[in-house]
Amino acid sequence: MLKVTGLEGVVAGETEISLVDGEKGHLVYRGHWAKDLAVHHTFEEVAYLLLYGTMPTGEELLRFKKALTGKRELPEHAKAVLDALPNDMEMMSVLRTVVSAMGTSSYGWEPTIEQAMTVTAVIPTIITYRYHQLNNREPVKPNLEYDHVANYLYMLTGKEPSEAHIKALSAYMILTMEHGMNASTFSGRVVLSTQSDLISAVTGAIGAMKGPLHGGAPSEVIALLDAINTKENAEPWIRKELEAGRRLMGFGHRVYKTYDPRSVALKTVAQELSGKDPWLDLALYVEETAIRLLDEYKPGRKLYSNVEFYAAAVLRAVEMPSELYTPTFTASRIIGWTAHILEQSKNNRIFRPKAAYVGKIPNK
Ligand SMILES: CC(C)(COP(=O)(O)OP(=O)(O)OC[C@H]1O[C@@H](n2cnc3c(N)ncnc32)[C@H](O)[C@@H]1OP(=O)(O)O)[C@@H](O)C(=O)NCCC(=O)NCCS
Give me the chain's average pLDDT, please.
94
Same domain, yes or no: 225 and 340 = no
Same domain, 210 and 223: no
Indicate if 230 and 188 belong to the same structural domain.
no
- Give 219 Cα–ligand 1 centroid separation in angstroms: 17
Query: What is the secondary structure of 61-130 as a DSSP string?
Result: HHHHHHHHHTT-SPPHHHHHHHHHS-TTS-HHHHHHHHHHHT--TTS-SSP-HHHHHHHHHHHHHHHHHH
Cβ 286 vs Cβ 234: under 8 Å: yes
Spatial neighbors of 363 by CB under 8 A, at least 6 apart, are none
Ligand 1 close to Cβ of residue 345 (< 6 A): no
pLDDT tens-digit series, residues 162-209: 999 999 999 999 999 999 999 999 999 999 999 999 999 999 999 999
- Region 282-294: mean pLDDT is 95
Q: Report the candidate in 66, 15, 333, 337 with the shortest Cα–Cα distance to residue 199.
A: 337
Separation of alpha carbons 102 and 110, rounded Å: 16
Domain range for residue 49? Answer: 18-214+323-346
* Contact residues for 26 (Cβ-Cβ < 8 A; gap 6+): 19, 20, 33, 261
Q: Whose CA is nearest to atom 45 of ligand 1?
A: 213
Instruction: State the distance from the centre of ligand 1 to the C-alpha of 213, rounded, in angstroms.
Output: 9
Residue-wise pLDDT tens digits, 220-257: 898 999 999 999 999 999 999 999 999 999 999 988 99
Q: Whose CA is nearest to atom 37 of ligand 1?
A: 252
Same structural domain, 97 and 146: yes
Q: Is residue 1 part of a domain?
A: no
Handedness of CA 320, 326, 327, 332 (dihedral sign): positive
Pocket test for ligand 1, best of 292, 298, 304, 332 (most atoms within 8 A of CB): 298
For residue range 116-170, what is the model confidence (pLDDT) as tens digits? 999 999 999 999 999 999 999 999 999 999 999 999 999 999 999 999 999 999 9
- We report the CATH number of the domain holding residue 262 as 1.10.230.10
Looking at the fold, whether 177 and 228 belong to one and the same domain comes out as: no
Question: 102 and 40, same structural domain?
Answer: yes
Within 10 Å of residue 88's Cβ, how many Cβ atoms?
7
Q: Which atom of ligand 1 is nearest to the CA of 252?
A: 37
Q: What are the backbone angles phi and psi of residue 88, rounded to the nearest 5°?
A: -90, 10
Whether omega for the bond prior to residue 110 falls within 30 degrees of 0, making it cis, is yes
Q: Is 253 a catalytic residue?
A: yes
- Ligand 1 pocket member 306 (CB < 6 A): yes
68 has pLDDT over 90:
yes
In angstroms, rounded to a whole number, what is the distance separating the alpha carbons of residues 165 and 314?
9
- Write the CB contacts of 138 (distance below 8 Å, at least 6 apart in sequence): 132
CA distances from 37 to 8, 174, 236, 271 (A): 28, 7, 39, 18
Query: Is 90 an annotated catalytic residue?
Result: no
pLDDT band of 308, cuts 50, 70, 90:
confident
Q: Is the pLDDT of residue 217 over 80?
A: no
pLDDT tens column, 326-341:
999 999 999 999 999 9
